[in-house]
Amino acid sequence: MRIAVDASRTVLAQRTGTERYSLEVIRALAAIDRSNEYRLYFNRPPPVGLLPLRPSFSARVAPLPRLWTHTRLAGELLRERPDVLFVPAHVLPLVHPKRSVVTIHDVGFRYVPRAHQPASRLYLELSTRWACRQATRVIAVSHATAGDLARLYGLPNERVRIVYEGVGHRFRPQPDPNVIEDLRQRHDLGSAPYVLSVGTLQPRKNLVGLMRGFRALLDDLPQPFRLVLAGRPGRGHGLLKAEAARLGLGKSVRLLDYVSDDDLATLYTGALAYAQVSLHEGFGLTVLEALACGTPVVVSNCSSLPELVGRAALLVDPRNPREIGRAIQRLAVEPGLRASLVAAGLKRAAEFTWERCARQTLSVIEEAAAVG
């Protein structure tokens, strides 16, 4: 079978969850599948060594600055006519093979529309609707996302498959305190314990709510604490500094930019707690990474996050700053709770591997290819 793959998301230098998923699932498919032929399509040349290509994997670079998916990729597919197309991130070309598989990660633009420019929101709406209508099979990364697609777009159960994402081997507890101390110095984190949140700095992540919750608990903590927000700037990120100033947080909040993969596991390990109090998440890959690094976690009680963490985290109402603050405070002053959540989190994270994700994804691709 000849499988075409939209690999354009893998070449971004600063990968967020969708780009990381695209890269890791392709790498895992290359590791497990010895039977099928893959053609990876890129909109720019991939860095050397990005993907360990075997003889059954080939790459096609077809540059175009705009509308690449619906023009250049569509043209390549029309010319080469693969048996099935796999799109790891949302957007199915207007012209595509008869059989296709698309992974849809979330519909956050419907829940938090202010996180997107109007044109971007319209494109996401139309492309999601198109994929749900046209794809032979749709992969949803959680039951929550599958439910959203059924409710909002009428996607029938027989065409959707739920495949969880994985967590990479690099995400494990960092045992060397010297490495953690070096990271603290390089990122100007100081010596105080810190609460961490990782992700694009945008309204859907509810970082203002997290700051308000953090402010509510500061006076009740036995020592100074910091809140560290790491991620590339998104829409509305400038409001975070203004809110920190309004709350009088000053140096208690540290805004980092995008943190490299080399530092990320250490940043997780060094944190007192990890907090993801998003208003909506399709999966929550950074939560899984934090669990794998042995960091106790606080998450929202909505969308996919309860499904992801099971009993391995504290759940809070993301719209209730005091509840967020109380959960973080518990992790700061209850060492027994911290220890139990660390153990539960490591066990939970071990259930999610990219190999399992790739095997289930391959099964969906083969299922789609067999559709008459």
| pLDDT of amino acid 161 | 98
Task: Please tell me the pTM assigned to this model.
Answer: 0.93
Q: What is the 3-state secondary structure (H, E, C) of 284-347?
A: CHHHHHHHHCCCCEEEECCCCHHHHHCCCCEEECCCCHHHHHHHHHHHHHCHHHHHHHHHHHHH
Q: Which helix (H) or strand (E) holds 38?
A: strand 37-42
Give the relative orientation of helices 143-153 and 118-134 as an angle to the nearest 10 degrees.
90
| pLDDT of amino acid 193 | 94
* Rounded CA separation 158/138 (Å): 10
| pLDDT of amino acid 18 | 87
Q: Where do the domains of the chain lie, and which CATH numbers do they carry?
A: 2-166+353-369 (3.40.50.2000), 177-349 (3.40.50.2000)
| pLDDT of amino acid 243 | 84
| pLDDT of amino acid 206 | 92
Do the bridges between strand 273-276 and strand 253-256 make them parallel or antiparallel, or are there none, so unpaired?
unpaired
Give the relative orientation of helices 321-333 and 335-349 as an angle to the nearest 10 degrees.
100
In order along its 372 residues, the chain shows pLDDT tens digits of 999 999 999 988 778 888 999 999 999 999 999 899 999 999 999 988 888 777 889 999 998 877 899 999 999 999 999 999 999 998 999 999 999 999 999 999 999 888 788 888 999 999 999 999 999 999 999 999 999 999 999 999 999 999 999 999 999 998 899 999 999 999 999 999 999 999 888 888 999 999 999 998 887 776 788 999 998 887 767 788 888 888 888 888 998 888 888 899 999 999 999 999 999 999 999 999 999 999 999 999 999 999 999 999 999 999 999 999 999 999 999 999 999 999 999 999 999 999 999 999 999 999 999 997
Check if the beta carbon of residue 205 is closer than 8 Å to that of residue 199. yes
Helix, strand, coil percentages in the chain from 3-state DSSP, rounded to 5: 45, 15, 35
| pLDDT of amino acid 227 | 95
Check if the beta carbon of residue 280 is closer than 8 Å to that of residue 305. no
